[in-house]
Amino acid sequence: MSEQISFKEELDTSGLNCPLPLLKAKQALANLSSGDVLKVIATDAGSQRDFRSFAKLSGNELLHEEVTEQNYYYWLKKR
């Protein structure tokens, strides 16, 4: 599924621990237009909880999330 999701910007937060991946994603989303998609790459397992909660509370849509052996990927659509 992830190959089919087009995104406007990619943010690599590898190596950063909570809450930095989410804070950096918030900053990146602020610079995007409504409807744009931000792809975030993270290595912190806590980012799953953070991004799910953020999407619910902010109204931005978590289109998809994916987990590999080393990374967590999120596609956030700005409202």
Cite the active site residues: 18
**46 to 3, 11, 20, 71: CA distances (angstroms):** 24, 17, 11, 12
Q: In this structure, which amino acid lies at residue 13?
A: T
Nearest-5° angle of CA 19, CA 68, CA 55? Answer: 40
